[in-house]
Structure 1
């Protein structure tokens, strides 16, 4: 049931518009509750009347959130009277109706609903959600410190749910359309691309047991879940060229338990060619293992946990590479060092950068990385194309030809 206390969109924002409720007793002794407000544009007083006090309080709250605009009042009045599905119910139904997602993705959507949609928009009738509601909700998430990417993902779930609500007849339009999302305010690149020298330095500080995995990640561009799900049966090391086949990846079920399932997308099923240097590393690793055994395991022969790898292997390697020390434990100012701290996923970006620098076509790179669309590849890596950068620099040089700075006096 809708309650005034459950509607909290105004949390963290300031609204100067106020509505009021006036109780009246009819001649037959029954009570009515009129919501009164003045339209901010026309300045004319308007009202909505309800038999139920709680409905009146909900309508009052909704009118205050939307600023008292008369064009939305009828929609609010109708939705409150008819008690259609709430936002939580509509989004939950949308998630239930999805047919092309795995249990881990479905569970992730439910987590987004519980954490970011339900507390703010959840109790609203889905029919009354407007552009103003969505914009205010986006602003409140941004003010709370969520990253633009996270906000975009959550907004995508709500928008898809609203499209489903339109198909099911709960409302006539999608209020998420046209809402501008926050842009990243970072002043540095969101991806870290290592040079060969930087990677070699980092690799030298990785525990020897995990060095083959790290080398494979940078040599193939595989995602973490794909690489750690590989088996010897996925390798064809004596082909020309040697290859591996990506057909699976680690995933989580609805209860967050790990299992091996299909890769991220249809395009993620792919064959990746291997350099001879990597083959030399993989041959002894695969020797003697069953075709369906894990190729890469932790030190006790089990699945490699990404979080544990980060804390016990990757972070110590970064610490050693960025802050080298002498044998006596004191800092070594003369030793080579990393000046950045890449994520494990940045090995995928590093691979793409090296491939582009070597002249690999973006369509070939798309297939190698398993991107569903070439748009993903171009938007992520087109700025790294050396020929285009050189051509742009040459064009700028021609434009500046003959110009010079005035001599200093």
Structure 2
């Protein structure tokens, strides 16, 4: 939409004019810069802003301002974070280089406006990025712009108010198993790993938390028996594994255990040193989630969804499940069972280690049977028998 034209001044110096048509007036408009880089930045920003004259004027002013670029500010924001690990910090830098630097990274942070952020979000959507990915990258950008305001680089956050794409998926993000479905799936899991799978569904622990548990974290003699969650597997900047603090402050927690699970765990921890890992692979070292998925979880799913006869053919009479849960869905299954049993959401928040009750309610409120029943009853009272009267008015052909 915009173009750059080089011009020679009478004194021999060069100037670079950015030319475009204002979509509101149809008039050709131009801005002139002494530096080609400034002109290139202006052209790209004007295109992102849709060529509107008011935005172009702000862009022209912003280009000429001194101050850090978007890349500078987001990099500084990442460096200033105090509550993230090296792996998360590296992940943020990857997001910056992949999704922000190629488009808005070189531009002055003072030149950013709502239109630029909205145009950038639309461009990511047009490239086919998932709504969740866009939300995550936008979240990084927005947090960095809040930091820019605090550091005095600009007066406001241009990300505020930008609507993000919504997922078009028609399926649930979580898969919840019934007790019968879980029992069938558990029976297909290798006996060596059954105590881990039982612990995941009985406690709601995250994979990285459960597989970092040591014998000292278990107290099976108190009433009720408990697990103390104080650590989880993490990755450093080089993607190497290490044991660090759990995901958030509230993820440090004590989780009570049912007696049936204690009977399973007692022989697993018996005879091991206090610092020994409880749930390991078959050679007693860290259990890899990817290897567990391919070598244990997926074969168990296959066996539960398509039971076979001795000759290798499908057994039509055997019980089977139709779902394909992830290992993380055991956490959702645990939450579902707790809600069905009447456990308060605040208690569930602490048990799951959510930092905020908002996370718990947003994730699991739809599973609360009492509230769903109350809502259905309220809707029935509002209808006041209207639905029932429809049947008496319908003709035989309609019915």
After TM superposition, the score normalised by the length of structure 1 is: 0.91
Task: Give the equivalent residue in structure 2 for 1:31.
Answer: 14
Task: Give the equivalent residue in structure 1 for 2:374.
Answer: 391
Contact kept, 8 Å, 1:138 with 1:181, in 2: the verdict is yes
Task: Give the equivalent residue in structure 1 for 2:125.
Answer: 142
**Partner SS for 2:250:** coil
Report the Cα distance in structure 2 between the residues aligned to 1:37 and 1:248, rounded to whole angstroms: 57
CA deviation profile, 1:6-60 (whole Å, cap 9, x unmatched): xxxxxxxxxxxx3344444333222323323332224444332212234223322
| Residue 294 of structure 2, aligned match among 305, 311, 318 | 311
Pair 173,332 (structure 1): closer, same or farther in 2 beyond 3 Å: same
Task: Give the equivalent residue in structure 1 for 2:324.
Answer: 341
CA deviation profile, 1:314-357 (whole Å, cap 9, x unmatched): 11111111111111100111111111100111100100110111
Report the Cα distance in structure 1 between the residues aligned to 2:103 and 2:161, rounded to whole angstroms: 20
Report the Cα distance in structure 1 between the residues aligned to 2:378 and 2:209, rounded to whole angstroms: 42
Pair 323,28 (structure 1): closer, same or farther in 2 beyond 3 Å: same
| Residue 236 of structure 1, aligned match among 191, 199, 219 | 219
| Residue 263 of structure 2, aligned match among 253, 274, 280 | 280
CA shift for structure 1 position 83 = 5.6
CA shift for structure 1 position 82 = 4.2
Report the Cα distance in structure 2 between the residues aligned to 1:277 and 1:82, rounded to whole angstroms: 68
Report the Cα distance in structure 1 between the residues aligned to 2:302 and 2:168, rounded to whole angstroms: 27
Task: Give the equivalent residue in structure 1 for 2:42.
Answer: 59
**Partner SS for 2:251:** coil
CA deviation profile, 1:135-178 (whole Å, cap 9, x unmatched): 22222322333322222111100111111122223222211111
**Partner SS for 1:198:** helix
Report the Cα distance in structure 2 between the residues aligned to 1:344 and 1:192, rounded to whole angstroms: 10
**Partner SS for 2:249:** coil
Structure 1 unaligned runs (5+)? 1-17
CA deviation profile, 1:66-88 (whole Å, cap 9, x unmatched): 12222222332233334632222
Task: Give the equivalent residue in structure 2 for 1:192.
Answer: 175
Pair 188,176 (structure 1): closer, same or farther in 2 beyond 3 Å: same
Pair 158,285 (structure 1): closer, same or farther in 2 beyond 3 Å: same
Contact kept, 8 Å, 1:131 with 1:179, in 2: the verdict is yes
Task: Give the equivalent residue in structure 2 for 1:174.
Answer: 157
Pair 327,231 (structure 1): closer, same or farther in 2 beyond 3 Å: same
Q: Runs of at least 4 residues of structure 1 off by over 6 A?
A: none
CA shift for structure 1 position 111 = 1.7
CA shift for structure 1 position 292 = 0.8
398-407 or 374-383: bigger deviation: 398-407
CA deviation profile, 1:264-307 (whole Å, cap 9, x unmatched): 11111111110001000110000010111101100111000111
2:23 paired with 1:40: yes
Report the Cα distance in structure 2 between the residues aligned to 1:305 and 1:42, rounded to whole angstroms: 61
Task: Give the equivalent residue in structure 2 for 1:408.
Answer: 395
Contact kept, 8 Å, 1:75 with 1:127, in 2: the verdict is no
Over the aligned positions, Cα root-mean-square deviation in angstroms equals 1.7
Task: Give the equivalent residue in structure 1 for 2:207.
Answer: 224
Task: Give the equivalent residue in structure 1 for 2:240.
Answer: 257
Contact kept, 8 Å, 2:229 with 2:254, in 1: the verdict is yes
The aligned length equals 392
**Partner SS for 1:46:** strand
Report the Cα distance in structure 2 between the residues aligned to 1:51 and 1:147, rounded to whole angstroms: 40
CA deviation profile, 1:70-107 (whole Å, cap 9, x unmatched): 22223322333346322222211110011121112111
CA shift for structure 1 position 249 = 0.6
CA shift for structure 1 position 189 = 1.3
Pair 27,141 (structure 1): closer, same or farther in 2 beyond 3 Å: closer
| Residue 313 of structure 2, aligned match among 301, 307, 330 | 330
| Residue 248 of structure 1, aligned match among 227, 231, 245 | 231
97-106 or 113-122: bigger deviation: 113-122
Structure 2 unaligned runs (5+)? none
